[in-house]
Chains A and B, each alone.
Chain A
Amino acid sequence: MSNVAFSETGPARKNWVERLGIGHILLALFLLIYPLIASDFFLTTIGGYSMVLGMIALSLMLLAGYGGMVSLAQMTIAGIAAYVIAIFGENNSNVHGFGWPWWIAAPLGIFLAAVFSALFGWIAVRTEGIYTIMITLAIATAAFYFAQQNYTLFNGFPGYSGLRAPEAFGVYWREPVPFYYLCLSCAVIAYAAVLYGSRSTFGLTLQAIRDNPRRMRAIGYDVTAHKVFAWFLAGIIAGTAGVLLAWFNGRISPGTISVGPAINILIIAIIGGLRHPIGPFVGAVVVVLMQTFAIDIVGAERFNTLIGLFFLVIVFISPDGILGLWDRFKPAPDRDSWHSRPDGTGV
């Protein structure tokens, strides 16, 4: 591990191919030309939806992988942004729907999601380990029942439907190809931001807090404030995904933020791996493919069993998820490349 970023006498400056890493470049090329080879179904229901779920799981990876805070409330946070879109934007449920333009409603949704995320974090950071999981599960459950029973704000059980993705720059962004590229852009920005941020001062701070919060206090850090800020940042990512989710589904209801989907996000993150920001996206693709096609293999009543068994096998074989398997089986010289390296090249 050479810390070239900090070294004045380190190796010669890398060119852009080396800095990005060949893995990143190949992946980017594939994702860019994917619409040329994929059907509309594979573009949106597999591609776009995987990236949305991947972003929500990425927000969990940020908290859990770097901050040691496992949250089950990430779907709830995404749901807050989706509800804001429904309430302040347009819907056909005849409740609220103020008709604000997307360029106000979407940022507002993301901002409010981040604020609520920070609030959830402020509550959750008083606990550690299993208790953080329990308190965030409690928050997710409470939010689900509140949304289901409150008709004044959340329109209760049916929620809101008729949410439309924007038409901007002459493009309807829910069309398969534009929606795919919209999701891809957001996912890439979120991924790159987390990867870059992992080596930022705040990223290092978060990882140090994960390792030893007591010591962090003893070198001058307000541990609670830093953890809450991490929740705020995770809320921006989850909120962005929530906006895309609202546009993807065209609706938002309590079912979207119920306990099942909340746990799915954790399963996605763990199947993919929590050590590197690519893990949640890998997990999301695998889980979405399984959710979509397991029914064809084992029937509608058994597909969750298949996903559960796959989860058990992954956890049993590799606690670090699919990234851990990759590390184990790839050629020895490249091992550990999924770690966030000091110079940020992780593939």
Chain B
Amino acid sequence: MEHNVAASRLQGTGAHALELEGVARHFGALVALTGINMRIAPGERRAVLGSNGAGKTTLFNTVTGDFLPTAGRIRFFGEDITELAPHERIRRGLRRTYQISQLFTNLSVLDSIYLACRGVSRRRFSLLRPSVSDPNMAQAESIMHAVHLDADRDKLVGTLSHGQQRQLEIALALAGAPRFILFDEPAAGLSPTERRDLVAILNALPKYIGYIIIEHDLDVALRVSEYVSMMHNGKLFKEGTPEEIENDPMVQEIYLGGGHG
């Protein structure tokens, strides 16, 4: 599979799921991202690793439109989305999760997922209550099942455990026919059992859904990705397969510590 991904990356033909070209983001004098070039094929699953402050989350925020890049272009399935509002990018099939859960604490689990499904469909301004036959509701039920939250469907999100809230984070990203997802440390704070569940959920995603995962837990990151990009000080400095990255002396020195492996 790695070879296929690498081949599709090298071909350079056809639209990439995500293409970053010279992307930079500055906060005053602080250079959070600089010269980011990245091409990700449709269906590719990429891990982005790096120490804290390397610019990983800023990279996500730039792709989703939370921040506009200071320089560079971003293309999503061939379309230039650099200037698009965040919600417009979402409607084109881009999704994300957050490092710190961003949820609707006073809504129920089912309502939250339903809204996520509805967000990319028509009639978002409907003043009618959703009916049992609403296809978005059926999709919400299905996603709720996929992330193992069936038993908590009517619980208020604010009353869920941390692990359940992380599962809901993923559920919101899966809603409404995503084509590409940005997972920002989805395993943060999860127990070993919950991490195993997370890996199972990610590996069970349909093959056409590609993603980038930021994850400090290498056991998780390398098991769910086909290709790895390393970031340091706002730059991409190394790319390769999980095995190459894990065995790279420079990576071990900078990110994993000299004694690793």
Contact A215 B126 (CB under 8 A): no
Tell me, yes or no, whether B204 is within 8 Å of chain A by CB: no
Interface stretch, picked from B117-125, B191-199, B210-218, B232-240, is B117-125
From residue B131, how far is it (CB to closest CB) to chain A in Å?
A: 9
Residues 125-147 of B, flagged 1 when their CB comes within 8 A of A and 0 if not, give 11111101000010000000000
Tell me, yes or no, whether A309 is within 8 Å of chain B by CB: no
A147-205 residues at the B interface, CB under 8 angstroms: 196-197, 199-205
B135-187 residues at the A interface, CB under 8 angstroms: 137, 153-154, 156, 172, 175-176
Interface stretch, picked from A1-9, A240-248, A261-269, is A1-9
Contact B132 A218 (CB under 8 A): no
B residues in contact with A24, CB < 8 Å: none
A residues in contact with B202, CB < 8 Å: none
Contact B129 A219 (CB under 8 A): no
Tell me the count of chain A residues lying within 8 A, CB to CB, of chain B: 35
Contact A218 B86 (CB under 8 A): yes
CA distance in complex: A200, B128 (Å): 5
A residues in contact with B125, CB < 8 Å: 201-202, 205, 226, 229
Task: Give 10 A-B contacts (CB < 8 Å), ordered by A residue.
Answer: A3-B111, A5-B129, A202-B125, A211-B105, A214-B102, A215-B102, A216-B115, A219-B115, A220-B116, A222-B87
Tell me, yes or no, whether A94 is within 8 Å of chain B by CB: no
Contact A220 B176 (CB under 8 A): yes
CA distance in complex: A208, B104 (Å): 5
Residue of B nearest to A5 (CB): B129
Residue of A nearest to B158 (CB): A211
Q: Given contacts A6-B110, A219-B90, is CB(A201)–CB(B130) below 8 Å? A: yes
Contact A215 B85 (CB under 8 A): no
A residues in contact with B137, CB < 8 Å: 6
A293-307 residues at the B interface, CB under 8 angstroms: none
Contact A1 B154 (CB under 8 A): yes
Contact B107 A207 (CB under 8 A): yes
B residues in contact with A215, CB < 8 Å: 98, 102-104, 172
B residues in contact with A5, CB < 8 Å: 129-130, 132
B24-69 residues at the A interface, CB under 8 angstroms: 64, 66
A residues in contact with B156, CB < 8 Å: 1
Tell me, yes or no, whether A97 is within 8 Å of chain B by CB: no
B74-127 residues at the A interface, CB under 8 angstroms: 85-87, 90-91, 95-96, 98, 102-108, 110-112, 114-116, 118-120, 123-127
A residues in contact with B126, CB < 8 Å: 200-202
From residue A69, how far is it (CB to closest CB) to chain B in Å?
A: 16
Which 7 interchain pairs have the tightest Cβ spacing? A220-B119, A220-B90, A215-B102, A219-B119, A211-B104, A201-B126, A217-B86
Q: Which among A3, A204, A344 is the interface contact of B115 at CB below 8 angstroms?
A: A204
Residues 228-249 of A, flagged 1 when their CB comes within 8 A of B and 0 if not, give 0100000000000000000000
Residues 25-42 of A, flagged 1 when their CB comes within 8 A of B and 0 if not, give 000000000000000000
CA distance in complex: A220, B154 (Å): 23
Contact A220 B91 (CB under 8 A): yes
Residue of A nearest to B140 (CB): A6
B residues in contact with A229, CB < 8 Å: 125
A residues in contact with B128, CB < 8 Å: 200-201
Residues 90-114 of A, flagged 1 when their CB comes within 8 A of B and 0 if not, give 0000000000000000000000000
CA distance in complex: A211, B115 (Å): 13
B residues in contact with A220, CB < 8 Å: 87, 90-91, 116, 119-120, 124, 176
CA distance in complex: A135, B119 (Å): 29
Tell me, yes or no, whether A310 is within 8 Å of chain B by CB: no
CA distance in complex: A203, B96 (Å): 24
Contact B123 A201 (CB under 8 A): yes
CA distance in complex: A212, B126 (Å): 20
Tell me, yes or no, whether A221 is within 8 Å of chain B by CB: yes
Contact A218 B96 (CB under 8 A): yes
Tell me, yes or no, whether A342 is within 8 Å of chain B by CB: yes
Q: Given contacts A3-B154, A208-B115, is CB(A219)–CB(B123) below 8 Å? A: no
Q: Given contacts A205-B124, A219-B175, A221-B87, is CB(A211)–CB(B119) below 8 Å? A: no
B residues in contact with A196, CB < 8 Å: 129
Residues 305-346 of A, flagged 1 when their CB comes within 8 A of B and 0 if not, give 000000000000000000000000000000000000010100
CA distance in complex: A220, B98 (Å): 15
Most buried by B among A201, A218, A344: A218
CA distance in complex: A221, B88 (Å): 8
From residue B108, how far is it (CB to closest CB) to chain A in Å?
A: 6
From residue B202, how far is it (CB to closest CB) to chain A in Å?
A: 19
From residue B172, how far is it (CB to closest CB) to chain A in Å?
A: 6
Residue of B nearest to A339 (CB): B106
Contact B118 A217 (CB under 8 A): no
